[in-house]
Amino acid sequence: MSPHPPPPTPRHHHHQSSTAITRSDDLGLPLRTHEHFLLRCGKTRQAAATLENKLILRAEDPFAASAWNQAVPLRLPRRTTTLPAVHRCFEKQSLMPVSAAFLFAWHERSGAFERLAPPWEQMRIIRKEGSIRDGDRLIFAVRKGPFWLPWEAAHKNYVPVLGPSDVGQFEDVQVRGPFAYWSHIHSCRPFPRPTGSGPGDQAPLGEPPQVKAAGPAPVDNNISGQSLLHDQVEYSLPLGLLGRAAGGAFVRKVIERMFTFRHERTLRDVRRHALAQTSLVMSGLPPLMRVGMSGSGGAIGSQLLHFLTTGGHRVDRLVRRKADATKGEIFWQPGAGSRGGQIDDAALEGCDAIIHLAGEGVASGRWTPAKMAAIRDSRVEGTKLIARAAASLRNRPRVLVVASGIHYYGDRGDQELTEEAGVGSGFLAEVSREWEAAVKPAEEAGIRVVILRIGLVLSPRGGLLARLLPFARAGLMPVLGSGTQWWSWIGQDDLMGVILHALSTESVRGPLNAVAPQPVTMREFADRLARTVKRPLGLRVPGWLLRAGAGEMADVALTSTRAVPDLLRRAGFKFMTPSLSAALSWEILGEVK
């Protein structure tokens, strides 16, 4: 028997037409229309009744499934308050290949806001208080031109998913920010609803197409199933009618674009996590891991941190300052010399996995002798330190994932390079050879080691793409060198998926080419990047001129390495953006192509 009392029996009342929009705050029974929330989107009660005469009544027991979907006519409470004059309403819903509980938990975990931030916006978090529960707050800033616009959001109406029939929701409202009014209700509901759940069994906006996750069906009851992600936003622009006339259509398009990206990012992330947790459970392992990670402050590491935590994994970050254990930090100080070679071994005890991404950037700054020494030492000495520490632990991690690079293969012209290809020549190839050899202590201790030979990572926030993007947007995207050299690349989101695949798949070990299945020449890359940002292609920059200006760093762009993901293809790994056009559109514009 359910521990919650049954919802109150709805009573039918007649009402008079009125232009006011009302809700009952004193009784704790806010009125919501059936998914469309027409009343709260600026419709009068008479107009709302014409369009949609069903309401969802939030009963005294908010966790009773039937209370959320009980069709009742509008009733007026004795004491009412008038809602703000909301001028616009936006709604979007998508079918997700996981349970409502899994989907709601994804939104509640640390990192969800960062994962949902669109790539074309520059955002920074100023202060975060709690998560999405009642009273929690988030203060952040959005960059518009030379200005940073502050936004403070407060959360309320938190209703978790406690059972298979429950609908979870939370709401964030703007306390201060660019809008005159902003309210955003997030809801996660099972689809289809379990038999007997009430009139809300069917999808409110028509039955969406079925979404099927690739691979075996999830086996954990908290994962399996399908759910509907529904977002409803009420907003009002400043300056009243003038604001609506001047920017109403533009703001609507911005909101539509943002939520299209958010739903697609959510879909891709929860699908990957469901598959990974299924793989772990089928291997007899717990579905969630404790992960130690270096390089969490970099362009790749920061996104990987949020990707893993939203999936439910605990991530402890290796930091070079004084570590705060309450914040999940572990001290380490790689490198040579008296201050180098330090790591808090005891804090690594209990980690199921370690990810090592830290290393001096190769695409920034001229390669002076000091820079080249930093590139080598940060990779080789740092990897040795972590491998030895992992091998010395009483409870060793199951897997150590170490970042390497396709520079391991050197300049190989048009040769197609699988993981079985030998090491090449040149500075970066030699560094990569030493880098990969440094994992030997962990391998000898019986730890499963995966070496990721990563290609050009498509991230607008770091790496080579971030350096080329301003030129492309200015219509000056150059063709570097002859343009015939091969560039093997990978979308940042697909790299997140590869790393999760390496963590969760027990059969994966040794070198793994972390590249997309369709490498391109440099000229093709330049042309598609220019097309993505709708600008013309620039002039060719000869190799000798590039070397004169950048020194040996020019080898990063001029080397031809045609690496292919042979082992990933054999494993059936699914790339979300296998083509360069699709990857650039997604990573830069947040658009599916």
350, 239: one domain: no
475, 423: one domain: yes
Q: Which neighbouring-strand residues pair with 33?
A: 55
Report the pLDDT value the prediction gives residue 337, as an integer from 0 to 100. 61
Q: Using CA atoms of 551, 553, 555, 557 in order, give the dihedral in degrees to the nearest 10.
A: -120
333, 443: one domain: yes
Q: Taking the alpha carbons of 417, 403, 407, 343 in that order, is the dihedral positive or negative?
A: negative
Q: How sure is the predictor about 42, in pLDDT bands with cuts at 50, 70 and 90?
A: very low
Residue at a domain's end among 232, 266, 282: 282
Q: CB–CB of 453/581 below 8 Å? A: no
Q: For residue 14, tell me if it sits in a domain.
A: no
Give the contacts of 370 (CB within 8 A, at least 6 positions apart): none
335, 355: one domain: yes
User: Where does 110-199 show beta strands of DSSP type E?
Assistant: 123-129, 137-144, 147-159, 168-176, 181-191
CA atoms in the 13 A half-sphere facing the CB of 109: 21
The pLDDT of 488-505, averaged and rounded, is 97
DSSP code per residue over 379-448: HHHHHHHHHHHHHH-SS--SEEEEEEEGGGG---TT-EE-TTS----SHHHHHHHHHHHTTHHHHHTT-E
Neighbours of 297 (CB within 10 A): 13
Report the pLDDT value the prediction gives residue 366, as an integer from 0 to 100. 83
**C-alpha distance across the termini of the chain, in Å:** 49
304, 437: one domain: yes
> What is the percentage of the chain residues whose pLDDT exceeds 70?
80
Report the pLDDT value the prediction gives residue 12, as an integer from 0 to 100. 39
Q: For residue 78, tell me if it sits in a domain.
A: no
Give the 3-state secondary structure of residue 570.
Answer: helix
Q: What is the pLDDT of residues 99-152, one digit of tens each?
A: 999 999 999 999 999 999 999 999 999 999 999 999 999 999 999 888 999 999
Token pair 């440094």 in the structure block, residue:
438
DSSP code per residue over 537-565: EEEEE-HHHHHHHHGGGGHHHH---EE--
Residue at a domain's end among 221, 248, 282: 282
Crossing angle (nearest 10°) for helices 369-392 and 427-437: 10
Give the contacts of 21 (CB within 8 A, at least 6 positions apart): 39, 40, 42, 43, 44, 45, 82, 83, 86
Range of the domain at 529: 290-589
Q: What is the pLDDT of residues 229-244, one digit of tens each?
A: 999 999 999 887 777 7
Q: How many Å apart are CA 449 and CA 509, to the nearest integer?
A: 6
Report the pLDDT value the prediction gives residue 193, as an integer from 0 to 100. 58
For 315, the token pair is 């991530």
274, 297: one domain: no
Would you say residue 588 has pLDDT above 50?
Answer: yes
Number of domains in the chain: 3
Q: For residue 225, tell me if it sits in a domain.
A: yes
Q: What is the pLDDT of residues 409-445, one digit of tens each?
A: 999 999 999 999 999 999 999 999 999 999 999 999 9
DSSP 193: P
187, 239: one domain: yes
Report the pLDDT value the prediction gives residue 224, as an integer from 0 to 100. 79
* Backbone torsions φ then ψ of 82, nearest 5 degrees: -90, 130
Q: What is the pLDDT of residues 166-206, one digit of tens each?
A: 999 999 999 999 999 999 999 999 988 554 444 334 333 33
Q: How many Å apart are CA 9 and CA 32, to the nearest integer?
A: 17
Q: Please provide the average confidence, as pLDDT, over all residues in the chain.
A: 82
Residue at a domain's end among 282, 305, 340: 282
Q: What is the pLDDT of residues 78-88, one digit of tens each?
A: 333 344 455 68
Residue 355's Cβ-count burial label (10 Å; 0-12, 13-18, 19+) is buried
328, 456: one domain: yes
49, 112: one domain: no
Q: For residue 206, tell me if it sits in a domain.
A: yes
Give the 3-state secondary structure of residue 282.
Answer: helix
187, 303: one domain: no
Which contiguous run of DSSP H or E holds residue 117? none
CATH number at residue 430: 3.40.50.720
Q: What is the pLDDT of residues 354-364, one digit of tens each?
A: 999 998 888 77
320, 430: one domain: yes
507, 482: one domain: yes
Neighbours of 440 (CB within 10 A): 15
Would you say residue 265 has pLDDT above 70?
Answer: yes
CATH number at residue 207: 3.30.530.20
Q: For residue 182, tell me if it sits in a domain.
A: yes
The pLDDT of 462-474, averaged and rounded, is 92
Q: What is the pLDDT of residues 205-224, one digit of tens each?
A: 333 334 333 333 333 446 77
Question: Among 436, 546, 430, 568, which residue's Cα sits nearest to residue 498?
Answer: 568
For 86, the token pair is 């909301």
Q: How sure is the predictor about 549, in pLDDT bands with cuts at 50, 70 and 90?
A: confident
Q: What is the pLDDT of residues 377-398, one digit of tens each?
A: 989 999 999 999 999 999 999 9
Q: For residue 3, tell me if it sits in a domain.
A: no
Q: Taking the alpha carbons of 442, 505, 357, 379 in that order, is the dihedral positive or negative?
A: positive
Would you say residue 64 has pLDDT above 60?
Answer: no
Would you say residue 35 has pLDDT above 70?
Answer: no
Q: How many Å apart are CA 138 and CA 128, to the nearest integer?
A: 5
Q: For residue 118, tell me if it sits in a domain.
A: yes
pLDDT top residue among 10 and 482: 482
Q: How many Å apart are CA 506 and CA 524, to the nearest integer?
A: 37
Q: For residue 7, tell me if it sits in a domain.
A: no
